[in-house]
């Protein structure tokens, strides 16, 4: 099977912020360089881990402009933009902006305010969006994260979009955390990219036919994710590497919220500035950082001894 153009390992990138909550554009460029040099095929900017809904449309655009300018030096690094809002008109504007800046795809939440919308209503919403704002040669990926959005993207809906817009609908990011869900999407959406949103599902998802992942932990552990991805392509074993990664993911999941955890460990482990999160999230305290760092260091030591 020929890999989808969007196949690979993507970071659901955090958004570096200064203490007052404004975007740190220099920090964003540093982060993107870090991710590219550690094996990521690309990054999702302004997704859930990037606190996308906490930023205005103008702020998102400024972040995308900075990422687009940075990408001129790394043209093979793919950029995805998180654009979904409850407003169809605003989501169209965000899509236009992202594609004008050269982004490869948009990752679109369903309109999440009216949670009892019918499938026909959702289909017409996405159909209007695709027709009005996705150019030829670019892709829209649905964003299935019902625990956050409160709105599922049923397979039947995505199949209708795939049939109606085969050149513009690219698949989805499945952040349900369920292998059965990802496998069902793979089986029902042949030729489209299903990218899992949980690091624990990378190896099993690839075996089920997924195209890769877009994950929060890729901000910190992208070399391990890329190792698993490449090993699978070669037909090599991935179970030990995946088991080690699972423990790192569990450490993050047990210390929410993920954006604050990642920013704290990027600072503690990789000497980045201590980037803030936006309210209503709160930054880790020094004590929380110490505890989280000790836990990860203990896991890393255990993994080295096992190998």
Annotated active-site positions, please? Answer: 48, 113, 143, 173
CA distance 111 to 202: 28
Place of tokens 């490869």: 104
The residues pairing with 107 across neighbouring beta strands, listed in sequence order, are 82, 141
- The SS3 call for residue 221 is helix
Q: Is 295 exposed, middle or buried (0-12, 13-18, 19+ CB in 10 A)?
A: middle
SS3 12: strand
Partner residues linked to 42 by β-bridges: 10, 78
For 163, residues 6+ apart whose C-beta sits below 8 A from its C-beta are none
Tracing tokens 């654009």 back to the chain, one arrives at 83
What letter does residue 285 receive in the DSSP assignment?
A: P
Q: Which two tokens stand for residue 255?
A: 């210390």
Phi-psi region of 8 (alpha: psi -120 to 50; beta: other; left: phi over 0): left
Residue ranges with strand state E in 128-259: 139-144, 169-174, 193-196, 212-215
CA distance 125 to 153: 12
Interacting residues of 111 by C-beta distance below 8 A, sequence separation 6+: 84, 85, 86, 87, 88, 117, 122, 125, 151
Q: 3-state DSSP call for residue 195?
A: strand
Q: Which two tokens stand for residue 23?
A: 């975007």
């Amino acid at each position: 099977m020929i890999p989808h153009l969007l196949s690979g390992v993507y970071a659901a990138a955090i958004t570096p912020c200064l203490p007052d909550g404004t975007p740190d554009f220099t920090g964003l460029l540093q982060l993107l360089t870090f991710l590219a040099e550690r094996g990521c095929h690309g990054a999702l900017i302004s997704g859930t881990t990037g606190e996308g809904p906490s930023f205005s449309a103008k702020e998102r655009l400024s972040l995308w402009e900075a990422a687009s300018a940075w990408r001129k030096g790394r043209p093979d690094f793919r950029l995805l933009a998180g654009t979904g809002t409850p407003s169809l008109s605003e989501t169209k504007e965000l899509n236009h902006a992202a594609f004008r800046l050269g982004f490869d795809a948009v990752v679109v939440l369903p309109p999440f305010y009216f949670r009892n919308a019918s499938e026909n209503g959702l289909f017409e919403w996405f159909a209007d969006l695709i027709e009005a704002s996705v150019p030829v040669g670019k892709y829209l990926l649905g964003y299935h994260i019902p625990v956050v959005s409160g709105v599922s993207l049923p397979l039947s809906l995505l199949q209708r979009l795939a049939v109606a817009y085969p050149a513009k609908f690219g698949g989805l990011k499945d952040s349900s955390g369920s292998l059965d869900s990802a496998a069902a999407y793979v089986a029902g959406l042949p030729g489209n990219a299903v990218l899992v949103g949980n690091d624990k599902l990378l190896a099993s998802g690839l075996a089920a036919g997924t195209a890769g992942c877009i994950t929060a932990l890729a901000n910190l552990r992208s070399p391990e994710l890329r190792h698993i991805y490449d090993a699978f392509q070669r037909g090599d074993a991935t179970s030990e590497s995946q088991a080690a990664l699972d423990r790192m993911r569990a450490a993050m999941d047990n210390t929410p919220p993920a954006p604050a955890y990642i920013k704290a460990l990027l600072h503690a482990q990789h000497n980045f500035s201590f980037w803030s999160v936006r309210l209503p999230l709160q930054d880790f305290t020094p004590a929380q950082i110490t505890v989280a760092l000790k836990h990860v260091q203990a896991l890393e030591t255990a993994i080295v001894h096992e190998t």
